[in-house]
Structure 1
Amino acid sequence: MVAAGRRGADAGAPAVVRLWERAVVTVRDRFRRVRAIGGLAVQAGLAAALSWVVAHELLNISQPVFAPISAVSTLAASLGQRLRRTVELIIGVTVGVLIGDLLLVVIGTGWWQLALIVVLAIMVALFLAGSAAVVIQAGATAVLICTLSPSTRDLEIPRFVDALVGGGTALLVTAVLLPLNPLRVLNRAARPVLDLLAAQLDATAGALADRDAARARTARGELRQNKGQLNAFVEATQGAREASTLSPVHWRERRGPVGRYARAAEPIDRAMRNSGTLIRRAVTLIEDDEPVPESLPDAVADLAEAVRLLKRQFAAGAEPNRAREQALRAVQAAGRAYRDGVGFSGAVVVAQVRTTVSDLLVATGLTQEQANHLVRGMFGDLRVPANPHRD
């Protein structure tokens, strides 16, 4: 009986360990989330306080509730959308005020008047802008005008001024007082994308060398889980452009590393998709038992290393010359594999190495024509020997 109890305790131990490890990971993730958003929280707090002070102390608005709300709403917008959100706030408030005031004079107040005014305000906002933020602000302002104007005099001007003060203060905080570092924003968003791409290309190179179809299939599945990371990267490029445009501290970076990094989002997206095709054909190549020249896994591994170098050089704000050189080495190895002899799927893998390298070269700042010229020159002779060596 004692032995049975000991065995039960031993069986339960791994479950407790797994539960503890999961709890540690969860807590770590939440701390990481707080650290990532901590800057936004500080910006929001400062913007809310400053907008209240400006509206109450300088503009003598007795209850400037909407100024801090507008400031926080602006900062809550996605990176890269804050200037647009401020304009949307002002448009929405203006539409709500105009529609509410005009109709109140004509039809008076009441439940059906409220319904009609809100409907018309939203329809006008949709016609003018079509943005959800504009629609929400127009409808909310129309409600306030209809419900509070009869008891609160001169509500319209303070509501408009509050929106202007709140949005403007939020932009002041993000641009001057607590500006984001655009290069850091880009690094944080690009790192998961480039790490994922490099890791799965490395896994595919190993799968080709070992003829391990299961490993290649796993890499294919992992790479497909990139939508959220790519969206975050694209959003970060918008935020970095906005930060470097609004903040005088970062104006010089807009045309330098930040601009180059931000322009890289689209070609990196293409590189991800072309690498997905590469890995998918690698699976078929292995399953069909096609020849795998030694230089073919080398080409894919060189491609993975080029991605890692691109990440490091972008993070350092350096000209990505080493990444270009490494990417062209991948093309050179792919050319050797092609001339050594590959099957149908192997030829597709070779072609995708070339295409992905071209994408990465464009991501480094070259034009598409320059990239294509370098790839063609490095690949070498397209003619295959009459009796290529096949494994």
Structure 2
Amino acid sequence: MRARGRRVALSALPILQCAIAAGLAWYVASDLVGHARPFFAPIAAVISLGLSLTSRLRRVAELVAGVSVGVLVGDLLISQIGSGAWQIVLVVALAMSVAVFADGATLLVAQAGSSAVLVATLLPPGDAGGIDRCVDALIGGLVGVVVAGVIPTDPVRPVQRGARALLDELAAVLACTGDALRVRDPAIALAALERARASQPLIDELRSALRGGHEVATVAPLYRRRRRQLGRYSELAERADYAMRNARVLARRAYQALLDDEPAAPELADALGELSAAVGTLTSELGREGDRERAREPVLDVVRHAVVLSEVWVPGPSEQVIVAQLRSIALDLLQATGLTRTEALTAMRS
């Protein structure tokens, strides 16, 4: 119940946006424009907004285009061949084919088909109702965009949640791999590898949140200043993705080394634990002023310890790979804090 309540709470503002947009779209289409029963205006408003913050402007364009294609194809054909079961088959197939040829977007194709059905069954050929429906769709979509701009959701908060989830998973993978090396248990290393391989949905969710955040910041004047912050999160998302890929390689090599009973210095497990803690520091500093600077030092500490270790120790083949991946992850994390690749490499060498 708690998870369900949290889900409702997180969706409260998008739900409010949809409700207000639906009522306002009906009012505009019915009372101001004068259309009789403009049911599609509120439907279009709700579809254009939805609970997802991503691609709202594209949804509006697909909605209006789909309705227009369906009405045009339906009106042209039904006026020539009449209405009936086989006519509906032909009209829907042709309207959806035109929509697929034009773009292929799911919403566009679905609206083309449903609008063609409406023309074939309810609207007389040549009747203004088809054109009115196109106008209603446009009204609903535009009202949805206006409401999204006037009552905007915070574009950064979903991005922060996604970034925290991804970084937490990265920290867990590194810690789990370190534990596996410490106790020499390949089963633990395999669990770390499986977690790393299963992390792609977290990366996809973060990128989706970023697209939605950029869109909100573009539409809503209140959040225009957040675009720079979103740009920083875009950098972080890209580097965190690379870091997770390197963590997969690291976990796979650790797993194989343990299976083959290859040696692994205890200091490697400690270094992975420190790197996991450094990721945790980066996560805790998200959204704070000066977070980029504060998050770098723990990562550089790991690099320094790895350098000291390499000076007094001759690593085996698997150990060399693990150290190389550890340094690669450290490089990715430093870039996630805003350093360029050159700056990050310079900091690691110093």
Q: Given the two structures, how large is their TM-score scaled by the length of structure 2? A: 0.92
Match of 1:364 in 2: 337
Structure 1 position 232, deviation (Å) = 1.4
Contact 2:14-2:153 at 8 Å conserved across structures: no
Structure 1 position 180, deviation (Å) = 1.1
Match of 1:189 in 2: 162
Match of 1:277 in 2: 249
The one-letter code matched in structure 1 to 2:32 is L
Match of 1:95 among 65, 69, 72: 69
CA distance in 2, matches of 1:336, 1:220: 27
Structure 1 position 304, deviation (Å) = 1.3
CA distance in 2, matches of 1:280, 1:322: 31
CA distance in 1, matches of 2:339, 2:128: 58
Match of 2:298 in 1: 326
Is it true that 1:348 corresponds to 2:305 in the alignment?
Answer: no
For each residue in 1:212-264, what CA deviation from the matched residue of structure 2 results, as whole angstroms up to 9, or x when unmatched? 44333332233333232222112111111111111111111102x22211232
* Pair 102,152 (structure 1): closer, same or farther in 2 beyond 3 Å: closer
CA distance in 2, matches of 1:62, 1:84: 27
Structure 1 position 70, deviation (Å) = 0.8
Is it true that 1:305 corresponds to 2:265 in the alignment?
Answer: no
CA distance in 2, matches of 1:225, 1:294: 27
CA distance in 1, matches of 2:220, 2:302: 40
Structure 1 position 269, deviation (Å) = 1.4
Match of 1:158 in 2: 132
Match of 2:60 among 86, 103, 106: 86
Report the aligned-residue RMSD.
Answer: 2.2
CA distance in 2, matches of 1:286, 1:36: 43
The one-letter code matched in structure 1 to 2:255 is V
Match of 1:111 in 2: 85
CA distance in 1, matches of 2:82, 2:259: 76
For each residue in 1:61-80, what CA deviation from the matched residue of structure 2 results, as whole angstroms up to 9, or x when unmatched? 12011011111111227432
Match of 1:41 in 2: 15
CA distance in 1, matches of 2:186, 2:291: 37
Moved more, 161-170 or 197-206: 197-206
CA distance in 1, matches of 2:289, 2:18: 29
CA distance in 2, matches of 1:107, 1:88: 28
Q: What's the secondary structure of 2:35's corresponding residue?
A: coil
Contact 1:90-1:160 at 8 Å conserved across structures: yes
For each residue in 1:302-335, what CA deviation from the matched residue of structure 2 results, as whole angstroms up to 9, or x when unmatched? 3212212222222336441122222222222222
Structure 1 position 30, deviation (Å) = 1.7
Q: Which runs of 5+ in 2 are unaligned?
A: none
Q: What's the secondary structure of 2:128's corresponding residue?
A: coil
Alignment of 1:1-391 (within 5 A): 27-76=1-50, 78-150=52-124, 153-177=127-151, 179-255=152-228, 257-316=229-288, 318-339=290-311, 340-375=313-348, 377-378=349-350
For each residue in 1:32-74, what CA deviation from the matched residue of structure 2 results, as whole angstroms up to 9, or x when unmatched? 2222222222222111111111111211112011011111111
CA distance in 1, matches of 2:324, 2:120: 65
CA distance in 2, matches of 1:318, 1:152: 64
**How much identity, in percent, do the aligned residues show?**
43
The one-letter code matched in structure 1 to 2:226 is E
Structure 1 position 141, deviation (Å) = 0.9
Q: What's the secondary structure of 2:285's corresponding residue?
A: helix
CA distance in 1, matches of 2:273, 2:172: 10
Q: What's the secondary structure of 1:180's corresponding residue?
A: coil
Structure 1 position 31, deviation (Å) = 1.8
CA distance in 1, matches of 2:134, 2:141: 11
* Pair 44,318 (structure 1): closer, same or farther in 2 beyond 3 Å: farther
CA distance in 1, matches of 2:47, 2:289: 32
Match of 1:16 in 2: none
CA distance in 1, matches of 2:86, 2:260: 71
* Pair 69,85 (structure 1): closer, same or farther in 2 beyond 3 Å: same
Structure 1 position 139, deviation (Å) = 0.9
Moved more, 310-319 or 111-120: 310-319
For each residue in 1:333-386, what CA deviation from the matched residue of structure 2 results, as whole angstroms up to 9, or x when unmatched? 2223333222111111101011112222232233334334444x15xxxxxxxx
Q: What's the secondary structure of 1:229's corresponding residue?
A: helix
Moved more, 79-88 or 147-156: 147-156
Q: Given the two structures, how large is their TM-score scaled by the length of structure 1? A: 0.83
* Larger relative contact order, structure 1 or 2 (CA cutoff 8 Å, min sep 6): 2
